[in-house]
């Protein structure tokens, strides 16, 4: 490929070290798609003969077909996918193949290929996120009245419902989808035509290539065009957030399916056993997701660190972008693919959630609010209720089972109706503020979410 300048063959070790075909061959389709658009433009502009352009395009289409049919294997000794396809083309169609690289460099070619490739990957990840949001909404609809404790500091805090709890994750994922969309939009700019770094003397038509490939515009600075990897970092960051959300959800599922909670039971098909302890049913899927989140953060860190010290324009360091971003992409897809059916098939155990909500004085705020509604300032009501909780703990009872006479000793505003006011169901029903856990508030939240989903799907 570098014939002319060099007098020696490359050292085999350097060739292995330098080669990226092991991890960039997956971009073969983008590479061919980009080359077809480039060749069409070269022919249209008369930079190469029309007949040559057609020959190149035909040759590239045949290569694509052969790769997809398994008739053409990647050569592991090739330097990268770009070199491999160009060499194969020339092998097949002769000298016309040697004209494809006119007014182009591998620097703008690789920048183009990654964008084309990631554009498709984003569509897939996005579709999976939408599917997960739908699954959450469907599970929530079935659990509008499933009362459970809401926690702060992992201490029972106030009563909520399971629907309310999991819908929080649907909201996170909606933001994730928004971030994927932002990334895709900013990424959708054509770098081709930047050439090695300084554009070209040929009269190329970048707008034509841009519209052939479905870009929204062209990179306005050729140095930036070849050396920008912001889009990889943005995507890795969007994926890191998805992973963080999946990991938090996973952590909760791990807790919920423990014997200490038993709020849910995983389907047998989505749990694993132990090689020694016959009683075990382990939530391996969720633990792996939690574990793989660190790996994706690592990918993001790799990209950030790789970019921070490299001067303009292209430097070989940037070849390291692909393993990191493809690993992040593959990992999040793998996690979503498993997480969705796991969530779909898990069984909710409402009795256990309710039993946990009945303990831990999670209606204490409501007890204080009862006094506030009878005219007492909140701080005084807070103190009175705190005293009642203290008495309950000493007596080994709950606010629901404490005698009214005891209530009256602390404050004469208490009446028989306090028991209705602090019942779990009342506590949940009364929290009907927008975004709150009352079944009708959560139903409204689900309705809005579904409208949003149909807008964005
Ligand atoms: N395999 C290279 C990469 O992934 C392609 C670009 C090579 N350009 C160059 N001037 N060596 O970055």
Judge whether residue 339 has pLDDT over 70. Answer: yes
Confidence at 281, pLDDT banded by 50, 70, 90: confident
pLDDT on residue 279: 83
* Alpha-carbon span 168 to 44, nearest angstrom: 53
| Residue indicated by tokens 């707008």 | 207
- Does residue 37 share a domain with residue 18? yes
User: How far away, in angstroms, is 414 Cα from ligand 1 center?
Assistant: 77
Instruction: Specify whether 43 is located in the same domain as 182.
Output: no
Q: Model confidence at 274, in pLDDT bands (50, 70, 90)?
A: confident
Atom of ligand 1 nearest to the CA of 80: 1
Rounded alpha-carbon distances, angstroms, from residue 136 to 128, 175, 180, 214, 446: 12, 15, 19, 33, 10
pLDDT digits 0-9 by tens, 301-311:
999 999 999 99
CA–centroid distance, 415 to ligand 1, in Å, is 79
**Rounded mean pLDDT of 213-229?**
98
Domain identity same for 226 and 286: yes
The yes-or-no verdict on residue 334 having pLDDT over 90 is yes
Q: Are residues 344 and 363 in the same domain?
A: no
Mean pLDDT of the chain: 96
Are residue 273 and residue 307 in the same domain, yes or no?
yes
Ligand 1 centroid to Cα of residue 112, in Å, is 12
Instruction: Kindly give the distance from the C-alpha atom of residue 76 to the centroid of ligand 1, in angstroms, as a whole number.
Output: 16
pLDDT of residue 280: 80
265 and 381 together in one domain: no
Average the pLDDT over 43-70 and give the result: 98
Output the pLDDT for position 1. Answer: 66
Residue range 345-397, pLDDT digits in tens: 999 999 999 999 988 899 999 999 999 999 999 999 999 999 999 999 999 99
Q: Based on the structure, what is the number of domains in the chain?
A: 3
Confidence of residue 23 (pLDDT cuts 50, 70, 90): very high
What is the average per-residue pLDDT within 99-110? 98
Question: What mean pLDDT comes out for the span 116-123?
Answer: 98
Q: Whole domain around residue 57: which residue ranges?
A: 12-102
Instruction: Please choose, from the candidates 399, 444, 337, 447, the residue with its C-alpha nearest in 3D space to the C-alpha of residue 159.
Output: 399
Average pLDDT over residues 338-351: 97
Residues flanking ligand 1, CB < 6 Å: 20, 24, 80, 106-107, 110, 314, 316, 318-319
Q: Given this model, what pLDDT does residue 359 score? A: 85
Question: Is a pLDDT exceeding 80 seen at residue 205?
Answer: yes
Q: Which of 39, 40, 91 is nearest to 66 (CA)?
A: 91
Q: 221 with 204, same domain?
A: yes
Pocket test of ligand 1: the residue of 80, 116, 313 to mutate, having most ligand atoms within 8 Å of its CB, is 80
Tell me, what CATH number does 154's domain have?
1.20.200.10
Q: Which atom of ligand 1 is nearest to the CA of 20?
A: 1
**Residue ID of nearest Cα to ligand 1 atom 11:** 316
**What ligand 1 atom has the least distance to the C-alpha of 81?**
1
Give the per-residue pLDDT at 5: 86
Q: Which atom, in ligand 1's list, is nearest to the CA of 24?
A: 4
Please tell me the residue having the least CA distance from ligand 1 atom 2.
319
In a domain, 208, yes or no: yes
Pseudo-torsion of CA 390, 391, 396, 400, nearest 10°? -100
Closest residue by Cα to atom 12, ligand 1, is 319
Calculate how far, in angstroms, residue 319's C-alpha sits from the geometric centre of ligand 1. 6
Active site residues: 153, 274
Domain at 18, CATH number: 1.10.275.10
Q: Whole-model pTM above 0.75?
A: yes
Residue whose token pair is 């060099």? 6
| Residue 153 confidence (pLDDT) | 97
Is the pLDDT reported for residue 288 higher than 80? yes
How far apart, in Å, are the Cα atoms of 307 and each of 18, 107, 300, 301, 356?
18, 15, 11, 10, 50
Q: Per-residue confidence at 329, pLDDT binned at 50, 70, 90?
A: very high
Candidate from 33-42, 174-183, 224-233, 394-403 with smallest mean pLDDT: 394-403
- H-helix segments, 280-377: 284-308, 321-345, 350-358, 364-373
Residue 277 has pLDDT above 90, yes or no: no
Query: Counting beta carbons within 10 angstroms of the beta carbon of residue 341, is it exposed (0 to 12), middle (13 to 18) or buried (19 or more)?
Result: middle
76 domain residue, yes or no: yes
Q: Looking at the structure, tell me whether residues 197 and 213 fall in a common domain.
A: yes
Locus of tokens 């399916």: 257
Pocket test for ligand 1, best of 1, 25, 107 (most atoms within 8 A of CB): 107
142 and 231 belong to one structural domain: yes
Question: At which of 304, 328, 355 does a domain end?
Answer: 355
| Ligand 1 atom closest to the CA of 318, numbered from 1 | 12
Q: Identify the pLDDT of residue 273.
A: 84
Distance CA 128, CA 131 (A): 5
Taking 70 as the threshold, does the pLDDT of residue 2 lie above it?
no
Mean local confidence (pLDDT), 98-123: 98
Mean pLDDT of 263-282: 87
Q: What is the pLDDT of residues 237-256, one digit of tens each?
A: 999 999 999 999 999 999 99
Measured in Å, residue 363 CA sits from the centre of ligand 1 at: 63
Q: What is the pLDDT, as a whole number, of residue 94?
A: 97
Q: For residue range 395-442, what is the model confidence (pLDDT) as tens digits?
A: 999 999 999 999 999 999 999 999 999 999 999 999 999 999 999 999
Instruction: Please report whether residue 4 resides in a domain.
Output: no
């Amino acid at each position: 490929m570098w014939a002319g300048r060099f007098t020696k063959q490359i050292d085999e070790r350097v060739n292995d070290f330098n080669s990226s075909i092991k991890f960039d061959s997956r971009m073969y389709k983008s590479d061919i798609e980009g080359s077809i658009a480039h060749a069409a433009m070269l022919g249209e502009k008369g930079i190469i003969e029309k007949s040559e352009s057609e020959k190149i395009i035909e040759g590239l289409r045949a290569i694509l077909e052969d790769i997809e049919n398994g008739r053409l294997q990647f050569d592991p000794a090739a330097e990268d996918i770009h070199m491999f396809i160009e060499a194969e083309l020339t092998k097949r169609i002769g000298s016309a193949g040697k004209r494809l690289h006119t007014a182009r460099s591998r620097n703008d070619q690789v920048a183009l290929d990654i964008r084309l490739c990631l554009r498709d990957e984003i569509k897939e990840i996005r579709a999976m996120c939408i599917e997960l949001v739908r699954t959450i909404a469907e599970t929530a609809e079935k659990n509008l009245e499933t009362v459970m404790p809401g926690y702060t500091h992992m201490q029972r805090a106030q009563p909520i419902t399971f629907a309310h709890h999991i819908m929080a994750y649907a909201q996170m994922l909606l933001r994730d989808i928004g971030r994927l969309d932002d990334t895709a939009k900013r990424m959708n700019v054509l770098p081709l035509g930047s050439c090695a770094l300084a554009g070209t003397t040929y009269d190329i038509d970048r707008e034509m290539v841009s519209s052939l490939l479905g870009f929204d515009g062209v990179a306005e600075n050729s140095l930036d065009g070849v050396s920008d990897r912001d889009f990889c970092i943005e995507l890795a960051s969007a994926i890191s957030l998805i992973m963080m959300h999946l990991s938090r959800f996973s952590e909760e599922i791990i807790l919920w399916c423990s014997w200490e909670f038993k709020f849910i039971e995983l389907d047998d098909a989505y749990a694993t056993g132990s090689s020694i302890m016959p009683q075990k049913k382990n939530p391996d899927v969720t633990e792996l997701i939690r574990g793989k989140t660190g790996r994706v953060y690592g990918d993001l860190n790799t990209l950030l660190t790789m970019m921070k010290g490299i001067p303009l324009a292209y430097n070989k360091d940037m070849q390291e972008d692909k393993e990191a971003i493809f690993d992040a992409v593959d990992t999040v897809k793998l996690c979503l693919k498993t997480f969705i059916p796991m969530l779909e098939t898990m069984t909710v155990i409402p009795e256990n959630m309710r039993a946990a909500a009945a303990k831990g004085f999670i209606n204490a705020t409501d007890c204080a609010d009862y006094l506030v509604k009878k005219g007492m300032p909140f701080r005084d009501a807070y103190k009175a209720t705190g005293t009642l909780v203290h008495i309950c703990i000493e007596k080994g009872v709950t606010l629901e089972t404490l005698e009214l006479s005891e209530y009256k000793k602390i404050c004469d505003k208490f009446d028989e109706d306090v028991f209705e006011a602090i019942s779990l169901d009342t506590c949940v029903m009364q929290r009907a503020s927008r975004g709150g856990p009352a079944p009708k508030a959560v139903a409204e939240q689900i309705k809005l979410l579904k409208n949003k989903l149909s807008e964005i799907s």
